[in-house]
Structure 1
Amino acid sequence: MHNELVTLLNSKANGCDATTAEVECGDQPIFVEAAHINAALKALKESTYEFNVLQLITGCDFEDRIEISYILASFTKNHEVIIKTKLAKPSSDAILDIDSVCDLWLAAGFLERETYDMFGVRFNGNPDLRRILCPDDWEGWPLRKDYVVQEKYKHMLVNPQNKINTDDLYFFDRQKKEAAEPKLWSGSWKKPEFPAEVEAKGEK
């Protein structure tokens, strides 16, 4: 079906340059040019494939670019497709632009707001594009790989030491130590006993 969809997209959405990608974790996405995303998704929605359900819009940071994924479904034809597009990221704090698809699906409004909030992608044409999880004056885009959380927000510590998940810290700290000494591997999330603690108990 993917080859047929590529042919459809390239005939109905001129310039979208639709191509199939290699299978990723069991899914095979179709890539289109970002400048033609609205026309491409409109073509799929209005086609005989009846992709009239927008299930998800999300992003993924690949450091030099951000990929935006759209998952469409047809409940009448019982099939699904993932459409992706790439946005070049010239700098860590750059806001990227792409057209909104709110004119095709009202549900896109909240999905685009979340993607904007987390990845700094501005969906032009969204009638209510503002942050949805973070405060409006929050600094940065939390799901970018180069994101550095601000130390304070309105005079409050963002990550006070007593609120940090210490079990996670123990686990990842232990992972580093066990990587150098595999025989210590336990796979437990409990607070680890490192060699110095074991020796203190007289164990080997």
Structure 2
Amino acid sequence: MIEKLVQEIKDTFGDTSVVGSDSSGLQPSIGINAADLRAVCAWLRDHPSYYFDFLANITAVDYYPEDRFAVVYHLTSIPFQQQLTLRVEIAHDRSLEHLPEVPSVASIWRTADWHEREAFDLMGIFFTGHPDLRRILLPDDWKGFPLRKDYQDPEEYHGIPIK
């Protein structure tokens, strides 16, 4: 399935839309160019041969000490009982002033709304076009992103010791 799907994506969106694929794991995975993510996801959801109608999860990966992150999407086609993983790699200098950016897919799968907010809150991934991107687990004034591998725990928060 994966080779055919990769070729169909390339035929539809161009050769640069796919940046790699892997069928050796438990779920096949396809690397998608961030610029094509939203269009590819809508196509995967609507295509009658695939119909990936459920976004089960979004997570982010920190490749510290390298200056790159990945956002991973776990898709399920309930009618066809198929699963697929999409990966988007993001090069980033690790600054907190400008966060790594990926297009939001919340308009494609409503479950993405909360998953993207969690990845923003804990890893500092900015989802462009998200309808309400704000912290979901931590206080609004929290500094930093605690799941990044280079995160340093603060000594205190509003006078309350953390360690």
The answer on whether the counterparts of 1:118 and 1:142 sit within 8 Å (CA) in structure 2 is yes
Of 88, 92, 97, 1:89 maps to: 92
SS in 1 for 2:58: strand
Distance 2:127 2:157 in 1: 26
**Which residue of the partner structure matches residue 53 of structure 2?**
52
Alignment of 1:48-87 (within 5 A): 48-63=49-64, 64-87=67-90
**Which residue of the partner structure matches residue 137 of structure 1?**
141
Distance 2:44 2:23 in 1: 21
Alignment of 1:1-204 (within 5 A): 1-14=1-14, 15-21=16-22, 23-24=24-25, 26-47=26-47, 48-63=49-64, 64-93=67-96, 94-159=98-163
Q: CA deviation at 1:75?
A: 0.8
Distance 2:35 2:117 in 1: 19
SS in 1 for 2:17: coil
The answer on whether the counterparts of 2:21 and 2:31 sit within 8 Å (CA) in structure 1 is yes
Structure number with higher helix proportion: 1
Q: Which ranges of 4 or more aligned residues in structure 1 deviate by more than 6 Å?
A: none
Give 2:76's aligned amino acid: A
For structure 2, the residue ranges without an aligned partner over 5 or more in a row are none
The answer on whether the counterparts of 1:54 and 1:107 sit within 8 Å (CA) in structure 2 is yes
The answer on whether the counterparts of 2:27 and 2:83 sit within 8 Å (CA) in structure 1 is no
Rg comparison, structure with higher value: 1
Aligned residues: 158
Please give the TM-score of this superposition, normalised by the length of structure 1: 0.73
The answer on whether the counterparts of 1:118 and 1:144 sit within 8 Å (CA) in structure 2 is yes
Q: CA deviation at 1:19?
A: 2.4
SS in 1 for 2:18: coil
The Cα RMSD (Å) is: 1.5
The answer on whether the counterparts of 1:54 and 1:73 sit within 8 Å (CA) in structure 2 is yes
The answer on whether the counterparts of 1:73 and 1:81 sit within 8 Å (CA) in structure 2 is yes
Percent sequence identity is 33
